[in-house]
Amino acid sequence: MINSMTGYGQAQGEIDGASYTVEVKAVNNRYFKTIVKLPELLAFLEEDIEKLLRKNLTRGTVNYALRLKDISTDVLFNIDETALQNIVRKLNRVGSAVGLEGAFDIGNLLNLPGIIRPISPDEEMVKQTREAVLDVSQTAIDKLKQMRATEGNFLAEELKGHCRAIGKDLEQIRVQSTNVVQEYTKKLKQRVNTLLAEVKLKLDEEALAREIAIYADRSDISEEITRMDSHLQQFVQSCQANDQAGRRLDFISQEMLREVNTIASKTSDGEVTRCVVDMKCWIERIKEQIQNVE
């Protein structure tokens, strides 16, 4: 079945005292675009994560975010305790001088420049961190893909329902098209006879036959109906395919609209026109929905 481009996945993992949380969100996009947000300490993983995303996903805007929490101080960074103590002493001195005393928020102090100093990880730490982060990332991506598949199943059923509705209108056009020439012949004879009766002339059956033949050829929509049938079948088959069918469905829907417009231009029958309007409405719904198909 087709997959939606919309999805969300989250996963958590831990290694050597560091807790990792990965969130992956995806929305529709004609092309593939990634937005990767990493802590500064793990910026060296950006290329690996980019490759992992491209390996698993083909279309859509993918937002990837990695957060660290509950990190022990000796895992990926050091705290400059001397600098922190100096800052606290200075703040206490300034506070006493102006008559303000109290405790300081250690979290705010840690955000000051130079307090936290990243450790340059050795080769073994880089390897362990990469494996842990990529493993957690793959779990989050798998959850996103599962949500995409579930939503894609619902989307496929709805699209096939639209195709069935178009098929009913097309069958009505097929039936009505057999009567179009007969109705035109009847009306044309009546109109010509009325006009000729006023001048007392006789109807030229051969000229009338030529006129009807020209109209029949000009208003023949059998080829358009046949192609439309084919497009509907291909569309339903593509909805059941396991590959990325979004672009294919978009192309087929464009061809469907082309055939419907041609049918509309070839006939002025009221019933056919009504069916054409309905079919255009269904196709517009299809075109809107397949924008979210991978």
pLDDT tens by residue, 192-249: 556 555 555 555 566 656 665 555 556 677 788 899 999 999 999 998 876 778 889 9
For the segment 130-139, what is each residue's pLDDT rounded down to a tens digit?
898 999 999 9
- Long-range contacts formed by 281-287: CB under 8 A, 24+ apart: 282/162, 282/165, 282/166, 282/169, 283/166, 283/253, 283/256, 283/257, 285/162, 286/159, 286/162, 286/163, 286/235, 286/249, 286/253, 286/256, 287/250, 287/253, 287/254, 287/257
251-265, pLDDT tens digit by residue? 999 999 999 998 888
Q: What is the pLDDT of residues 28-48, one digit of tens each?
A: 998 899 999 998 778 889 999
| pLDDT for 266 beyond 60 | yes
pTM for the predicted model, two decimal places: 0.70
What is the C-alpha to C-alpha distance for residues 3 and 152, in angstroms, rounded to an integer?
A: 4
**Average of per-residue pLDDT across 267-280:** 87
Round the average pLDDT of the chain to a whole number and report it: 81
Contact 26, 60 (CB under 8 A): yes
- The answer to whether residues 53 and 23 touch, using CB atoms and an 8 Å cutoff, is no
**pLDDT at 189 > cutoff 60:** no
| Chain segment 54-88, per-residue pLDDT in tens | 999 988 999 999 988 755 545 556 677 777 778 77
Give the domains, in start order, of the chain with CATH numbers.
Answer: 7-74+125-150 (3.30.230), 77-110 (no CATH), 154-292 (no CATH)
DSSP state of 291: G
DSSP annotation string for 24-66 = EEEE--SSEEEEEE--GGGGGGHHHHHHHHHHH--SEEEEEEE
